[in-house]
Structure formats: C-alpha cells, structure tokens
Amino acid sequence: MRIRVGHLYPEYLNIYADRGNIAVLARRAALRGHELSVRAISRGDELRPGELDLLYIGGGQDREQALVAPDLAEKGPALAEAVAGGAALLAVCGGYQLLGRSYRGQDGSLMPGAGLFPLETVAGETRMIGDVLLECRLDGGEPRQLAGFENHAGRTLLDEGAQPLGRVLYGFGNDGVSGFEGCRVGAAIGTYLHGPLLPRNPWLADWLLARALAHASGGPPPALEPLDDTLEREAFRVAASRARERGGRR
C-alpha cells in the first residue's frame, strides 16, 4: 500500500537529525511491502488534508521557528481536519511547540501556533538537556517505554484535561515540573524527544505506520508483521541506561 506523507518545512526544521524519523518509517514500511511517498510541504504550499495519511514536522531553533510560524498557523485548520479524519502525525520539539496555540521566544516575541495541540509554550532562561525515559500507554494498552534526548528552553503547559504522550521517569519533560512529556490528540503525537526518536523506539514507529495505513485503506489499524529489531532494542537499552544514570525525574 502507498502511504502518503507530508513532511512540513524540511529545509527549516531538521535539528538533531530529526529527518531520520522519516527514514525509519520508510524502511519499516518497505520491509512489509508498503511504499512511503513523501512530499515536502513548505511556506506557501497548500496542505490538502484528505490527500495525506501521515504528517511529520521536526525541530528547529527560534530563528527557523519564527520563519515558518505564520505559515504553519495558516495551515492550522487543514492540519486539524487531517487529524480529525484519522491521519497520523508526529511533531518533534520546535514543531511540537508550534502546533500549540503559541510560543513566546526568549526575546519576548510571540509566534502564532497552529492550535492543533491544547497547550502553550514560553521560553525559560535555562535549557533542559539530557536523555529522557518515559512511560506511555497508548489506546489503553500495556504501558510501554520511550527513550530519547531533550534539549529545549521552552516550558510547555498543557491545558487541563489534555492528554500527555507519557509520564516522565527520568528527565525534564514538558516543563520540568508537571511530570508530563508531550501531547496526544487522536493519532497526532507531539514530543520534545530528539535523537532522532524512532530508531530507538520502533514500537512507536509501527504505531504511527499502522494508523497511517488505516487512513489509507479506510479500515482499522492493521497488525503489522514483526521485524528483527535487535539493533533497535540495543539502541533503546543504551539510551534508557543513560537516562537512568541522571537519577529521578527532574
């Protein structure tokens, strides 16, 4: 099956090799006989919700975020329509911040957000840096762990009742206080975890792929054929071990 992917602002938002998440999705899809058809969507490009099964936006610094923020805010209604229609989405760090209602940078400037996630972000004076380990429970299933790397000054505050991606076991998370990391709306996930995220967390890559396939086929998320994830499990083990060495939740 052909999975149609919209990669938002790849020429602006690709810090910490976040583009590698697309490579992981493409490889894991191909090993199961599917094709990832990736289209770059940048400033001034139209976003047609019904034509995309999966959307992706990476991280960037404040300068790059400021360049794309107004355009992304204009695309907000189309993004919300796509997610409401069942499309999957992954947003990392800067992209995650800009999919909230707004992001106030360190210089005091206010960047408009797309409004997909029920949250706001304000830059703090210190950065929150290091390996992170989360506990997640998606779709009421068994708890799973996610490992990644965070490096952000933003303090992201979820609205009351908003659904976080996970609970912080080790690291800072959204704001270093709440114990929450990321946000989820339907099959849309936002997170601060870089690294890139998916090579060491193949179960999350497959969760996104299954929902993208469901959108493409009009059916339920399929059970994906297991792959040999020996290297991925070792990458997770190393990242999780580094996170545990930091001590308890920051």
Q: Write down the catalytic residue from 7, 34, 152, 194.
A: 194
CA torsion angle for 5, 28, 182, 177 (degrees, to 10)?
Answer: -150
Which helix (H) or strand (E) segment holds residue 211: the answer is: helix 202-217
Calculate helix-pair angle for 62-74, 76-84, nearest 10 degrees. Answer: 70
93 is catalytic: yes
Backbone φ/ψ region at 106: left (φ over 0), alpha (ψ -120 to 50), beta: alpha
Burial of 11 (0-12, 13-18, 19+ CB in 10 A): exposed
Contact between 167 and 141 under an 8 Å Cβ cutoff? The reply is: no
DSSP assignment string, 116-146: -SSEEEEEEEEEEEEEEEEEE--TT---EEE
The contacts of residue 27 (CB under 8 Å, 6+ apart) are none
Residue 145, CB half-sphere, CA atoms under 13 Å: how many?
15
Give the number of other Cβ atoms within 10 Å of residue 144's Cβ. Answer: 15
Q: Write down the catalytic residue from 7, 93, 183, 215.
A: 93
Rounded distance between C-alpha atoms, residue 93 and residue 58, angstroms: 7
Catalytic (active-site) positions: 93, 194
